Amino acid sequence: MKINIEFDMTPEELRRAMGLPDVQEFQNEVMKGMMEKMMSGEEGYDAMSLFKPMMSESMKSVDKAQKTFMNLMSGYMKGAATGDSDSTEK
């Protein structure tokens, strides 16, 4: 059985329905502070240091997904080479 549920609402309405806080004002203040520091060239401020944690985690998940796809494909190819069509089903 397959059931599909569709909601027609804006992201703001969904945020409120899920009870999530409105962080737009906080985000604007943080971005304003970051931009001021970047523009003024504040001593010791390195914009890339803010993104390094996010980038390393993103790259790890990309690598993991790539390895998963390669494992799936190599398992499929091994089954096709031996003529065993059930080798990928477990």
What is the per-residue pLDDT across 7-43, written as a single tens digit (0 to 9) for each?
A: 899 988 988 888 988 888 988 988 888 788 777 766 7
Which DSSP symbol is given to 88?
A: T
Tell me what percent of the residues of the chain surpass a pLDDT of 90: 9
CB atoms within 10 A of CB 45: 13
Dihedral sign for Cα atoms in the order 26, 27, 28, 34: positive
